[in-house]
Amino acid sequence: MGAAEARLFAREGAKVVIGDVLDDEGRQTEAAINEFGGECLYVALDVTSEKSWASAVAETVNRFGKLDILVNNAGVVSRVPLEDLDVDEWDRVMDINSKGVFLGTKAAIPEMRRSGGGSIVNISSISGIAGQSYVSAVYNASKGAVRIFTKSTAIQYASEGIRANSIHPGPIDTPMTAFRQGDPQAVADSIGRIPLGRNGIPDDVAYGVLYLASDESSFVTGSELVIDGGFIAQ
């Protein structure tokens, strides 16, 4: 989803910085965006490291002069049943999915303040709103934390022109959900729970991110945008 978001932002004229621990994939996305005429910089980023975030923000400002938008997109899934869940797995998921959002937000806000405002878009999940049997409780907990953290950020920084909103995707066809793709029955069951009758694709989410990052959503903060084909409306 992050790659789709970066491509869309670049097509819309944004100067894009992407970060990951997957250097090869990150540089491939950077090259692809620059080849079609966009402007993209890849930086090595471990979202669980405060030092890594500080470096990524500094590189962004050094290259482009300011920081207007932050999309906290990094995430991992877990399907370990609650009684089999150990502390290491709990910490792994919470560190990436929740602490990463906190550290990214903390690092970005001072630069947004210097720019006169900004927009933070945090990728949560429908799992941050309702429980599901097919993911681990730690995944639900981590995404629920992102949901309420976003609202707190929005309230605290609204007076400075910094907005914060969360996006809650349903089933999206990405490598993270590939565990279902090899099981035709699991795919059928998933689609059967979606009123629109299909899984989402990364661009479905990317357009929502673009809206919340843009001036078109200037009166939107502390909100949650559900992109799930109607899954949790039932």
Would you please indicate which residues are annotated as catalytic (active-site) residues?
Answer: 139
36 by DSSP, 3-state: which? Answer: coil
Strand pairing of 39-44 and 69-72? unpaired
The C-alpha atoms of residue 22 and residue 20 are separated, in whole angstroms, by: 5
The C-alpha atoms of residue 180 and residue 2 are separated, in whole angstroms, by: 20
CA angle 2/160/69 to nearest 5° reads 15
The C-alpha atoms of residue 97 and residue 89 are separated, in whole angstroms, by: 12
Measuring CA to CA, which residue among 152, 156, 180 is closest to residue 166?
A: 152
32 by DSSP, 3-state: which? Answer: helix
